[in-house]
């Protein structure tokens, strides 16, 4: 079987030199292409009035990555106090932060309020909780759940079965109540898909939101300042999938914008995966081969480092460095060492012959990769490296140690 693979920003020789200083496993991010992609994204959507991208921090909560994006004019979409503090440490505040949370503790609202972040409420009952316990912000947004008006997808589910957002009637009731209590500026938000690759999906979402903006003005005479169309833009994990067309989506959104006669309404997005996802890689070494009912390749990383294949059945392309042109004559399960049978990066994957010591690169791990790591089985999360534009390597997060793992336990009390 012919070996079709994805391009890499590094060679085997480069990775071998990196491993001499930073042993596997590790994540490595491609600064040059993160910046290139961010600029293409921003250029395409700049045709929309007042456009702003808020990077979904949960996708890759590393301050060095966030600082790169901040330098390109990208803000932060935060959903927890930790992400708010991370964004603050990078130098973001005010309208550069969108705080979209759910079931939100009061102290997290307070932090967002203190940063003058745009607070995006998920629930009509949160209005009194926020206003009575924290304060009344000048600007506020509401997350709209369109229910049966909009289909979700396999990852995020049907909107009417999701825990997020206001129903349509609650949008009118909530906005009116907030205006009566002194809010001056209003926004609307929605998020109804994850890893979606249909260009038209996002254009249709914009139409729904623009219609809602018009209806809000007509019914309760409130001018909406901005619409946040959310994120959910997918990336082509598989070789036969196509990348989303930024220009097509932007032009489609603008067409509906113009048809509604808007002039001052601002349009925002809060994408994460599509910004950094294709430009991060998990690098591991083969430490074991097992041949029983199936052929297994054991790595020095496991699903605690990258859990998407295990929990979503997600496909991540795999390259065996130095064997990119070898025929795919072998079928393997590529696994970790966790005591869970779903600890598998690939199942029945056609790959070249693999030997112990081979270097494995798992692609498209730049979003929801390290961020979703965990410590089950007392496993430790790996280090993160940045391949800088000048070719140098920077350690941007060290690996966890056993001292880190045990730091929250007082053994003296035993």
Domains, the chain: 12-28+278-399 (2.40.37.10), 31-276 (3.20.20.10)
Contacts of 19 by beta carbon, 8 Å cutoff, 6+ apart? 283, 285, 359
CA dist., res. 335 & res. 344, Å (int):
4
If you average pLDDT over residues 395-399, what whole number do you get? 98
Of the listed ranges 143-152, 202-211, 359-368, the one predicted with least confidence: 143-152
Phi, psi for 187 (deg, rounded to 5): -135, 165
CA dist., res. 109 & res. 113, Å (int):
6
Please give the model's pTM, rounded to 2 decimal places: 0.95
Instruction: Give the pLDDT band (50/70/90) at residue 152.
Output: low
Question: Pick from 350, 363, 254, 368: which is nearest to 308 by CA?
Answer: 368
pLDDT of residue 150: 54
If you average pLDDT over residues 216-229, what whole number do you get? 98
pLDDT of residue 193: 85
Token pair 């206001």 in the structure block, residue? 166
| 340-362 per-position pLDDT tens digit | 999 999 999 999 999 999 999 99
Helix (H, G, I), strand (E, B) or coil at 182: coil
Written as six digits, the tokens of 407 are: 């730091």
Helical ranges in 164-245 per DSSP H: 168-180, 199-220
**Average pLDDT of the chain?**
95
Mutual angle of helices 126-133 and 168-180, in 10-degree steps: 20
Residue 299 pLDDT exceeds 80: yes
| 92-116 per-position pLDDT tens digit | 999 999 999 999 999 999 999 999 9
If you average pLDDT over residues 140-163, what whole number do you get? 73
Residue 55 pLDDT exceeds 70: yes
pLDDT of residue 148: 74
Other CB atoms within a 10 A radius of the CB of residue 58 amount to 17
Residue 159 pLDDT exceeds 80: no
Concatenate the DSSP letters of all residues of 220-232 into one string. H-----EEE----
If you average pLDDT over residues 310-334, what whole number do you get? 97
Residue 25 pLDDT exceeds 70: yes
DSSP strands (E only) in 64-184: 75-78, 97-100, 118-121, 139-143
pLDDT of residue 3: 60
pLDDT of residue 48: 98
Concatenate the DSSP letters of all residues of 320-348 into one string. ETT-TTS---EEEEEE-SSSSTT-EEEEE
If you average pLDDT over residues 377-386, what whole number do you get? 98
Instruction: Report percent pLDDT > 90 for the chain.
Output: 93
pLDDT of residue 5: 73
According to DSSP, residue 382 is labeled P
Instruction: Give the pLDDT band (50/70/90) at residue 1.
Output: low
CA dist., res. 398 & res. 393, Å (int):
13
According to DSSP, residue 160 is labeled G
DSSP H helix total and E strand total for the chain? 12, 17
If you average pLDDT over residues 209-234, what whole number do you get? 97
Residue 2 pLDDT exceeds 70: no
pLDDT of residue 151: 60
| 242-285 per-position pLDDT tens digit | 999 999 999 999 999 999 999 999 999 999 999 999 999 999 99
At 308, which helix (H) or strand (E)? helix 308-312
Residue 388 pLDDT exceeds 80: yes
If you average pLDDT over residues 211-224, what whole number do you get? 97
| 132-148 per-position pLDDT tens digit | 999 999 999 999 999 87
């Amino acid at each position: 079987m012919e070996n079709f693979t994805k391009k890499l920003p590094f060679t085997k020789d480069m990775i071998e030199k990196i491993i001499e200083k930073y042993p596997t496993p590790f994540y490595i991010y491609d600064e040059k292409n993160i910046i290139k992609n961010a600029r293409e994204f921003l250029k395409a959507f700049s045709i929309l009035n007042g456009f702003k991208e808020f990077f979904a921090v949960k996708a890759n909560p590393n301050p060095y990555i966030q600082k790169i994006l901040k330098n390109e004019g990208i803000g932060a979409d935060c959903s927890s106090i930790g992400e708010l503090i991370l964004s603050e440490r990078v130098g973001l505040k005010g309208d550069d932060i969108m705080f979209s949370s759910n079931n939100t503790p009061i102290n997290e609202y307070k932090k967002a309020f203190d940063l003058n972040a745009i607070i995006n409420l998920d629930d009509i009952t949160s209005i009194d909780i926020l206003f009575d316990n924290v304060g009344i912000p000048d600007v506020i947004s509401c997350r709209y759940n369109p229910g049966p008006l909009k289909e979700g997808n396999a990852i995020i589910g049907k909107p009417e079965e999701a825990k997020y957002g206001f129903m349509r009637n609650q949008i009118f009731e909530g906005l009116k109540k907030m205006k009566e209590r002194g809010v001056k500026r209003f926004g609307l938000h929605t998020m109804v898909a994850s890893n979606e690759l249909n260009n038209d999906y996002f254009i249709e979402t914009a139409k729904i939101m623009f219609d809602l903006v018009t209806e809000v003005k007509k019914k309760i005479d409130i001018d909406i300042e901005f619409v946040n169309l959310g994120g959910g833009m997918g990336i082509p994990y598989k070789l036969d999938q196509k990348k989303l067309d930024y220009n097509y989506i932007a032009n489609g959104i603008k067409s509906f914008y113009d048809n509604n006669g808007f002039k001052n309404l601002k349009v925002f997005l809060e994408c994460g995966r599509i910004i950094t996802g294709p430009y991060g890689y998990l690098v591991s070494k083969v430490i074991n081969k097992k041949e029983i009912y199936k052929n297994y390749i054991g790595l020095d990383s496991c699903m605690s480092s990258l859990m998407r294949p295990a929990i979503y059945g997600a496909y991540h392309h795999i390259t065996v460095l130095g064997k990119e042109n070898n025929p795919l004559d072998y079928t393997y399960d590529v696994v970790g060492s966790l005591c869970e049978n779903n600890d598998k990066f690939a199942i029945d994957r056609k790959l070249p012959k693999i030997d112990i010591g081979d270097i494995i690169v798992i692609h498209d791990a730049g979003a929801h990769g390290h961020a979703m790591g965990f410590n089950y089985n007392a496993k430790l999360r790996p280090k993160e490296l940045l391949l800088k534009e000048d070719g140098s390597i920077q350690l941007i997060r060290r690996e966890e140690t056993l001292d880190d793992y045990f730091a929250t336990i007082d053994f003296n009390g035993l």
